[in-house]
Structure 1
Amino acid sequence: MKQMNSIQRIPYHPPFQPTKQVKQATTASFMEQLQVAVSKQQLKVSKHAIERLQERNITISDEEWQQITDIVSEAHEKGVRQPLVLIEQAALIVNAKNATVITAMDRLEAKAQIFTNIDGTIIL
């Protein structure tokens, strides 16, 4: 009997290599998702800051909180760790890394204060 040696050839398919367009689309999509997630992050207010806001009868609207959140996030991206945020009725010290308001005072009280351990000022 004649023995046949048959070798079955399987075509070689190199691993998937995404094109630059696919890589860019994936990166852009990820960046967009990250921006949406970050923009939804709201500032937390420490117990101490809540007490100060109540004691000093300081009210901050939701729109103002959103504006403060956005600008603190932007400052954090630029390397600011602990900014002083000045708004019309209050001065807030914020830990940008943790997105937490540490303390608050009204603007009149803030005029007579020396602020330490801050590395940026945001005036709204």
Structure 2
Amino acid sequence: MSEINGVKVPFIPIVTNNDYEPGKVKNNKENFDAIFKEELSKVKFSNHALKRLESRNISLNDNELDKIQNAVQRAEEKGAKDSLVMMRDKAFIVNIPNRTVITAMQVGEEQDNVFTNIDSVVFT
């Protein structure tokens, strides 16, 4: 027993989980791996893309982010490297292997409407 100011205090571990069993260590490796893989599979936005979203007043809701995610998945399955992802009123250039949005624009915003260095277009 430990002593605090001359008073003997028994060691009682703090238990926050009702499933606690002494001597049993839970294996959370599977949970960690699943969460880690899920986070890696999410689409990221480059600093350039974030600046374009802000400067062009483009906002994305959860549904639109899911559409981009699905478009990237479909492009990846086809072996694409750099794709133009077209939504109703938005367009995104995405590097597929890195799952990174490179730039974003409103459809009709660009006067030239010429996109180079892409190997695929995905409509969502």
Question: TM-score, normalization: structure 1?
Answer: 0.65
Does the CA-based 8 Å contact 2:71-2:85 persist in structure 1? Answer: no
- Where do 1:18-29 residues align within 5 Å? none
Query: Which structure shows the higher helix fraction?
Result: 1
Give the count of matched residue pairs. Answer: 91
Quick check: 1:73 aligned with 2:73?
yes
Match of 1:24 in 2: none
Residue 117 of structure 1 deviates from its aligned partner by 0.3
Unaligned residue ranges in structure 2 (runs of 5+): 1-32
Query: Which structure shows the higher strand fraction?
Result: 2
Equivalents in 2 of 1:118, 1:38: separation in Å?
A: 26
Equivalents in 2 of 1:84, 1:44: separation in Å?
A: 15
Residues 77 and 38 of structure 1, relative CA distance in 2, 3 Å threshold? farther
Match of 1:91 in 2: 91
Task: Name the stretch that deviates more: 104-113 or 60-69.
Answer: 104-113
Q: Which runs of at least 4 in structure 1 moved beyond 6 Å after TM superposition?
A: none
Residues 39 and 48 of structure 1, relative CA distance in 2, 3 Å threshold? closer
Residue 38 of structure 1 deviates from its aligned partner by 5.6
Larger radius of gyration: 1
Residue 112 of structure 1 deviates from its aligned partner by 2.9
Does the CA-based 8 Å contact 1:58-1:89 persist in structure 2? Answer: no
Match of 1:64 in 2: 64
Equivalents in 2 of 1:78, 1:110: separation in Å?
A: 27
Question: TM-score, normalization: structure 2?
Answer: 0.65
AA aligned to 1:77 is E
Unaligned residue ranges in structure 1 (runs of 5+): 1-32
RMSD, aligned CA: 2.3
Does the CA-based 8 Å contact 1:80-1:96 persist in structure 2? Answer: yes
